[in-house]
């Protein structure tokens, strides 16, 4: 079975040119930020494979972290996962600013 890459939310701590030091889920990483427009300390980003792919809102970062926590719990055999996926936490957006 091939390996799988899952991106995680990380918060920008320090910007250094085209890179930023970011922290999230217990780790600190230097990410390439060339795909982003002017990241600043405090911004949340979606990070994968050493790249900051897009900016996230604090709410989006929280929802992704909940889902990742739920995935980890499921992998440990937990079956009651409702607290990781509360109905009010996740909303599908068809267009920016509009929800289904």
For domain 8-95, the CATH architecture is: Roll (2.30)
At 44-53, the pLDDT tens digits run 999 999 999 9
CA-CA distance, 52 to 10, in Å (whole number)? 9
- pLDDT band of residue 92 (cuts 50, 70, 90) is low
Q: What is the pLDDT, as a whole number, of residue 87? A: 75
At 4-17, the pLDDT tens digits run 678 999 999 999 99
CB count within 10 Å of CB 69 equals 15
């Amino acid at each position: 079975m091939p390996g799988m890459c899952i991106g995680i939310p990380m918060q920008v701590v320090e910007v250094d040119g085209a890179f930023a030091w970011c922290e999230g889920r217990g780790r600190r990483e230097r990410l390439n930020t060339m795909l982003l427009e002017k990241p600043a300390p405090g911004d949340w980003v979606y990070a994968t494979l050493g790249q900051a792919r897009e900016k996230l809102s604090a709410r989006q970062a929280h929802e992704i972290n909940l889902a990742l926590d739920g995935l980890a719990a499921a992998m440990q055999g937990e079956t009651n996962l409702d607290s990781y996926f509360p109905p009010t936490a996740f909303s599908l957006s068809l267009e920016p600013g509009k929800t289904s």
